Homo-oligomer: A and B are copies of this chain.
Amino acid sequence: MGRASRYQTRQGAQILDYLSSLKGEHVTAAAIAGRFEDIGKTTVYRHLDKLVEAGMVRRYFLEGKDSACYQYTGGEECGERFHLKCESCGDLIHLNCDVLTDVADHVMKDHRFAINPLKTVFYGTCGSCLSKTKPPAESGNS
């Protein structure tokens, strides 16, 4: 597990290079295929599969999205990182905060539940969008 491909090809290099350059940002297969016009989408999918299998890339689904998202991790787990997903602009914010680690700890102790920070995503609204939109109205419904 660490071998993404046996042969070194231009396509493989470009894809991995692009993914790593994103430093954790997520992308869809379509986005990658779109970025490289000279790489077929089939190839993109195949490399993604191998990278995921090799543990270099993480694959997951985002709420409301019909396509999978991929994120470069470089083989190592991205620590205790949590994610904040803005429902307004779709931005994905990475968070490596002690408070959140404490929560995981608390939930484990008091609720017997082992949180997986890698898959947990907090949905909400980011600062930028909070400013743009009207601040009032939002509390509780029905």
Contact = CB atoms under 8 A, between A and B. Distances in A.
Interface of A: 1-2, 55, 60-61, 63, 75-77, 79, 84, 86-87, 93, 95, 97, 99-100, 103, 106-107, 110-116, 119-127, 130, 138, 140-142
B126 A113 contact: yes
Contact of A103 (B2, B60, B99, B119): B99
B114 A130 contact: yes
The complex is assembled from copies of this chain, and their number is 2
Q: A-side binding surface: helix, strand, loop or mixed?
A: mixed
A49 B113 CA distance: 30
Contacts of A55: 141-142
Contact of A140 (B77, B99, B103, B127): B77
B95 A140 contact: no
A140 B116 CA distance: 10
30 contacts: A1-B142, A2-B142, A55-B141, A55-B142, A60-B63, A75-B142, A76-B142, A77-B140, A77-B141, A77-B142, A84-B107, A84-B111, A84-B115, A87-B119, A97-B106, A97-B110, A97-B111, A99-B103, A99-B106, A100-B103, A103-B103, A112-B127, A113-B122, A113-B124, A113-B126, A113-B127, A115-B122, A116-B123, A119-B124, A120-B121
